[in-house]
A and B are shown apart, each in its own frame.
Chain A
Amino acid sequence: MNAPLNHLHKVSLQSKDYKDNVTPFWCPGCGHHGVLTSLLRALSEIGVDPNFLVNISGIGCSSRLPYFVKSYKMHTLHGRAGPVATGTQLARPDLAIVVSGGDGDGFSIGGGHMPHLARKNVNVTYVLMDNHVYGLTKCQASPTSRREMKTVTTPYGGVEEPLDPVLYMLTYGASYVAQSYAANAKLTTRLIKEGMEHKGFAFINVLSHCPTFNDIDDAKSFKEASDEVPTEHDVADLDAAMHVVNLANRAGRVPTGLLYRVERPTLDQRMAELVERVGGHPEYDLRKIIDLSRP
């Protein structure tokens, strides 16, 4: 059942070849267009075979992304893309799997799944398109909305502090944590590419401006708030990664680039080892199991 660990079946395709024949339904000027472009470029640069690629999403503007990528794909339930992808990955470790979704999908309704994707080191790439607002339901506060933002549910301004996705994922034990903003296609493409090549759970938070419902963050402000992590940052040092993020948060800045990366066994590898340890194989005689229940 467990396939070779090189899950990226290679072909040679242009990034446009990864576009499915569905036009993105996002508003003009939406950051998600940029994230899609970066994803298609990353797929082309790696050379992923679309037949062995699965895009999985939940519900939200960003969760429509799979429709626009030529691949196998699932458009599932609000907040549940992570566990669906876990099932697909464990069932078929030979597939390349990309999860996409928004801040509400990933950190509000689906927030309970995040620690488990990270600690289990499920070998998928999770691209969180973080626009700090619920867009598809037309402007409600999300868990990453800045407090001063006015939305339909916070007409006088918010009353809650936002959470920081990358800080959570570092704490939860994700083995690859990175951050970018949608307008920075070069960095976003590189981070998605390296995330897909990383064996383990790769989390990439992409600040993706919503031109329609978020009037306090835009492409320009995301760019201006961002500081790429210094080249001397040691990505293997978890304490350093936490420190970079905490320092930036205190200064009201957004650290971009690869924050942390560590190699450790993935969930499917551990499963394969377990099967090997018990001498398992698909043809194992069921009678040996049934005989254990003889009186």
Chain B
Amino acid sequence: MHEGLERDLGLYSAVTISMGAMIGSGIFVLPALGFKKAGPAVIVAYLLAGVVVLPAALSKAEMATAMPESGGTYLYIDRAMGPLAGTVAGLGAWFSLVFKSAFALVGLGAYLLLFAPVPGSAVTAVALGLGTLIVVLNIVGTEQSGQMQAFIVTGVVVALAGYVLSGGATLDPGRFQPFATHESGGVVTAAAFVFVSYAGVTKIASVAEEVEDPGRNLPRAMLVSMGVMMALYTFVVAVVVGINDPDTLLHGGPDDGVSLTPMADGADALFGGFGVVFISVVAVLALTSMANAGVLASSRFPLAMSRDSLLPSWLMRIDPRFKTPRAAILLTGGVLLALIAFVPVVELAKLASAFQILVFSIENLALVAFRESDVEFYQPDFTAPGYPVVQLVGVVGGFALLTQMGTVPILGAVGITLAGLVWYLVYGRQRTDRAGALNVLVQRRRSPTGEADRVRIEADRE
């Protein structure tokens, strides 16, 4: 264990952190988008997406127990596959999370309008205002909000369960017919879109250094929260489909687009007539919490990459007054606000999913690299079960989803890979001599004696 770090998150806190990172736009905003792709079979898409995320969650849990330092995804991939892959993955994970936060803020704006007397065209302005507020809060610094987070998560889960019970009694079974409106390909496409709903499960790995007994609690927290959320999502989406007129879902949004507030749309009959207000308030709470957590977590990527010399060193500077990584937060917040202001975030929601799928696939490969190279510093407390089948399923499943997403997301994934490559070549390469575990593997293959050249691997920064 690192001298001088606190471990004060127990299993319950870890589960709520993980669930808190998952609950958000995935369930409050995306069901209608998924419905457009798959019809009522969007329900199956939520399950399928969960199944494809699971391998990456397990892989990440194992790597997190071997490297319980902040940096998460970026760090594991960098140490496994070298700084080039690290740069690509770091950029991809960072951008995906920023995108997801932007999407959450736009959805948040849409729900806010349901109970506040503001014209519909103000969604972007509201989202920008809230985004600015969150960025400022993060720069000034907030105290441990773990307990607050636990309250919100518990409240939201109870509200969602209430929604399922209340809506389950009134739904119209006829709405599930025909079930699959877009053939089986539609389900896969929808799964690719709602994939991001589970991305939060790996959030817990990024606070791994603060979890008590990580070998036991990290994987349990991930599996418990995944199981709960897969069940909850499936039921909630079934109710959304069952109580809403398909037309509302497909055209209830701004400018006749898909609804951004699918959970509130059919809720007027629920909770004794207060359904719309109730669900909207819950959605606003959950989405605010998600956007805030997104800014907090994503600004750690530039920070960690900067500490490894892959980004300029001013990004890791901690502000002496507020004690926060101000530059990393400002960069993240700036991109967040620019996305909301200038980019059609809703149409491009799939980009966030695409980057996430890419990163998760690389993450599975990273685990393979660690296991096969057997580098000395890699001593995980928790060993992911089902290796290597689970990881291969994760990689193949991930790429299969990626191919179903259409041209723009594929171009996006290729684009971020190229951007990472170029940045590494012009900036990172001359500043680092790190090599990943993969390199050890390759070296060993080359020299038949099995004696690999000494390759510098940073197991630990101290």
Q: Are A and B genuine complex partners?
A: no
A→B interface (CB under 8 Å): none
